[in-house]
Amino acid sequence: MPCRDLAEELTAAVAGAVQKIFGFATAFGPLLTDLAFAFDAAREQYHSTPILKRLAEDAPEWALKIIALVEVDLFIPILTHVYGEAQLGGKACIVSSYRLNDESWRHNAREKFLQRMIKEAIHELGHTFNLRHCRDHRCIMHYCRSEADVDLKSEELCRYCRILLLDEIKKLTAW
């Protein structure tokens, strides 16, 4: 993150949103400090899939899900870049601030950046709870091709996705 207090504000904001949408407690700390293993020299970007694999392996056992917030530009081979990636129904997901932090904003730059990061974080976490892409463009599970798409969607799940999430959480927490 560009500065320390923004990073703290970001993690606090994401934690608050995660708690609100998923109802689980969150904890923050450094996990993967060196992403060199995922760097693609030809593309000068980081391949997100091997990072997810490593995150899932390194996650503490008590963690139900793990999300990494990174600054580097991420890609998967079929796309020029991604805002994030998730293991569908798995443990790990990742979100990058690289494309979401637009310095051309004059007003509310900070607030807008935080909102975008929250939306993409919830979106990727949603995938780890087995949620697929949603056609409702206001739904947080809507697939966004541009930053404008991200700005357009709300910070909420649509009714349909909310029901799917509750079902999934019920399954996860049933003993």
State in angstroms the smallest separation of the CB of 36 from Zn ion: 26
State in angstroms the smallest separation of the CB of 60 from Zn ion: 25
Alpha helical stretches, state H, 23-79: 48-58
Give 7 or 130: the residue with its C-beta nearer to Zn ion.
Answer: 130
Give 66 or 158: the residue with its C-beta nearer to Zn ion.
Answer: 158
State in angstroms the smallest separation of the CB of 113 from Zn ion: 19
Q: Which residues bind Zn ion (CB under 5 A)?
A: 134, 136, 139, 141, 158, 161
Residue among 44, 61, 124, 156 flagged as catalytic: 124
The one-character DSSP state at 146 is: S
Q: What is the C-alpha end-to-end distance of the chain, expressed in Å?
A: 39
Residues 6+ apart with CB under 8 A from 66: 31, 55, 56, 59, 91, 92, 93
The residues that bridge with 66 in the sheet, in sequence order, are 92
Catalytic annotation present for 124: yes
Give 114 or 150: the residue with its C-beta nearer to Zn ion.
Answer: 150
Give 9 or 115: the residue with its C-beta nearer to Zn ion.
Answer: 115
Residues 6+ apart with CB under 8 A from 153: 119, 137, 138, 139, 140, 142, 144
Residues 6+ apart with CB under 8 A from 117: 10, 13, 14, 69, 95, 97, 100
State in angstroms the smallest separation of the CB of 106 from Zn ion: 30
Sign of CA dihedral 93, 96, 99, 101: positive
Which residues are known to be catalytic? 124
